Amino acid sequence: MIIDHPVVGKLRDLQSQERSGCLLLKRRDESARFFIQQGRVDAASSSLAELRLGQLLLKDGLIRTSGLRKLLRKAKRSKRPLGEMILHVSAVRLSAVNELLCHQAFLIFQRAVDYDFQVESFDEHAKEFSYPCRIPLQALLLGMARRCNRSVDSDASAIVTLLHGSPEDFAQIPWDAREVAVLSCLRTPSSIADLIGRHGLSETEVRQLLGTLQLMGYAEVSQSAPAEQEQLSGQPPLEWIVPAVNGEFASPRLEILKDQHSFISEQFKSLKISLNGLAGDEIPQIVGVSSPFMGDGKSLVSSNLSMALSRDLGRRVILVDCDLRKPTAQEYLGVPQGPGLVHYLEEDHDLPPFSFMRRFHNLYILTAGRVADNPVELLSLKRMRELIDYLRQEFDAIILDCPPFEPISDARILAKLTDGMLLVVRSGKTPYVCAERTLKSVDPDKILGLVLNDVKPIVFNTYYNYSYYYYGERGAYPYSSKPRPKKRS
């Protein structure tokens, strides 16, 4: 089995001990390295040319040969890894580099297992990366188990029991939508017959998914359930079943995450308080964020506002990227693009909505998934309205990142599903006539307010008492790093 391989055993020991360093593997003249930080794989490299990051970039069409040569020269001069140089000069989208680095680590891991690489050494001196992948061993094992495509051939009456079923184990693994659906059914021991047909899954699909879990050592198939197995009833908590992402590749423009005490972060906190004030103690449950025209910054506002709301204790928040023409939530939050809303709306199976979500800290995310060919038709489906009803039951605050009102009609469909709309207007950029038409096209009772974006901070020109905002050598307030100088008499 995969889990019994020596390389897997070494990585498991490093992860359980939370050790940091560089693991060197060798086979004849070929070598591979895994850079480990607190037990997780931050990056991987190989002496094999076809597994180097540059070749993978070319293969995926993310960069041209001439561009790659320039980046390699810059990386050599600055003594930076190629991946960090790509991100430093923004040559490739952040989320694309994240997925590629994770894919590279898996390919190297796969080759090390397939060709029986030997553990050569482990250097305790850990190398730090600006954008670490933070891949747990379970994620690498999942890819290998999927590739094996093994099916469970036991009788349909056989009982499937989850092993090692702690929330920390399952939430850190990038399950796909079908795997999440099956896991949600296994909160209590279930027979294979009970799983077949659940959520519209066929017998072949169920047996293959169970084979994946079995290869990873997460499921046991037997003729009877163990007597000591804890019986858990009801729907599984979202914290247990929705895969979590580490957010290392979140955009620097996500200010509320980058520096929660900055001037911009404080403005989003003020926006949160203003929304609370509109309805007394609670924010309107479903808030749509849109703009009169493209490029006004509504997605950036949606992401920052969602993150600000998710910091409230006891409040469950989800961000839904409903811009099916130009989705960007995955770019700001550094999460995989799919599965997402388009996949849920087009899904032939009856998979539950949480199968398509991801979790970033306390914020749940339903990305668009991909660009849709028929966004108006998808957003008009009954399935979309049913999704909104489901979210109302599970979440305290739902932020819909809506498309702009012009020149398309998608936002008008979504506005009807919300409790209120926030309109983002970009200072000096949004045409006045577009803003005027948008205000006329939206129900006035649903307009919660306008957000003026891209405004330079003017607090330094006000008469605030700057000494109030100064606190020690490193202030927790964003307005000043030094006390305001006294005026000369």
Task: Give Cβ neighbours of residue 164 (< 8 Å, ≥ 6 apart).
Answer: 217, 218
**pLDDT confidence of residue 468:** 38
Are 378 and 345 in contact by the 8 Å Cβ rule? The answer is yes
Task: Look at residue 459 and tell me if it is in a domain.
Answer: no
What gap in Å lies between CA 173 and CA 137, rounded to an integer? 9
Q: Is 256 left (phi over 0), alpha (psi -120 to 50) or beta?
A: alpha
DSSP E strand stretches across 291-377: 317-321, 358-360, 363-366
93-146 per-position pLDDT tens digit? 777 888 888 899 999 999 999 999 999 999 998 788 877 888 999 999 999 999
**How many CB atoms are closer than 10 A to CB 370?**
16
DSSP E strand stretches across 47-134: 118-123
What gap in Å lies between CA 189 and CA 197, rounded to an integer? 16
What gap in Å lies between CA 29 and CA 26, rounded to an integer? 7
- Write out residues in the chain with pLDDT < 70, as ranges: 1-2, 164-169, 225-236, 277-282, 457-489
**pLDDT confidence of residue 228:** 54
Domain boundary (111, 137, 163) is at: 137
**pLDDT confidence of residue 474:** 42
What gap in Å lies between CA 258 and CA 292, rounded to an integer? 28
**pLDDT confidence of residue 244:** 87
What gap in Å lies between CA 211 and CA 145, rounded to an integer? 8
**pLDDT confidence of residue 353:** 93
The tokens for 355 are 């199968």
Kindly tell me the sign of the dihedral angle through the C-alpha atoms of 27, 32, 33, 34.
Answer: negative
Q: In the chain, how many H helices and how many E strands?
A: 20, 15
Task: Look at residue 469 and tell me if it is in a domain.
Answer: no
Task: Specify the residue for token string 């997780």.
Answer: 40
Same domain for 182 and 57? Answer: no
What gap in Å lies between CA 95 and CA 360, rounded to an integer? 14
What gap in Å lies between CA 192 and CA 156, rounded to an integer? 5
Same domain for 54 and 202? Answer: no
End-to-end Cα, the chain, rounded Å: 82
Same domain for 99 and 223? Answer: no
Task: Look at residue 375 and tell me if it is in a domain.
Answer: yes
Same domain for 7 and 61? Answer: yes
What gap in Å lies between CA 205 and CA 177, rounded to an integer? 12
Q: How many domains does the chain have?
A: 3
Task: Specify the residue for token string 């960090």.
Answer: 84
Domain that holds residue 174: 149-241
Query: Residue 305's Cα: distance from chain center in Å?
Result: 16
Are 304 and 453 in contact by the 8 Å Cβ rule? The answer is no
Secondary structure element (H or E) that encloses residue 161, with its range = strand 159-162
Task: Look at residue 142 and tell me if it is in a domain.
Answer: no
Domain boundary (92, 117, 137) is at: 137
The C-alpha angle 399, 401, 405, rounded to 5 degrees, equals 130
**How many CB atoms are closer than 10 A to CB 66?**
8
What gap in Å lies between CA 420 and CA 397, rounded to an integer? 12
Domain boundary (219, 241, 263) is at: 241
**pLDDT confidence of residue 223:** 78
Task: Look at residue 460 and tell me if it is in a domain.
Answer: no
Same domain for 118 and 178? Answer: no
Same domain for 276 and 342? Answer: yes
Are 292 and 425 in contact by the 8 Å Cβ rule? The answer is yes
What gap in Å lies between CA 259 and CA 254, rounded to an integer? 9
**pLDDT confidence of residue 232:** 46
Same domain for 199 and 293? Answer: no
Same domain for 95 and 118? Answer: yes
Task: Look at residue 155 and tell me if it is in a domain.
Answer: yes
Task: Specify the residue for token string 């307030």.
Answer: 477
**How many CB atoms are closer than 10 A to CB 23?**
22
DSSP E strand stretches across 180-292: 190-191, 219-222, 244-245, 286-290
Task: Look at residue 479 and tell me if it is in a domain.
Answer: no
The tokens for 17 are 């001990």
Kindly tell me the sign of the dihedral angle through the C-alpha atoms of 368, 373, 376, 377.
Answer: negative
Same domain for 305 and 159? Answer: no
φ and ψ of 227, to 5 deg: -65, -30
Same domain for 185 and 280? Answer: no
Task: Look at residue 294 and tell me if it is in a domain.
Answer: yes
Same domain for 396 and 268? Answer: yes
Q: Give the CATH number of the domain where residue 286 resides.
A: 3.40.50.300
The tokens for 123 are 């250097």
**pLDDT confidence of residue 355:** 92
Question: How do the residues of the chain divide into helix, strand and coil, expressed in percent and rounded to 5?
Answer: 45, 15, 40
What gap in Å lies between CA 363 and CA 332, rounded to an integer? 13
Same domain for 212 and 351? Answer: no
**pLDDT confidence of residue 350:** 86
**How many CB atoms are closer than 10 A to CB 146?**
17
**pLDDT confidence of residue 479:** 43
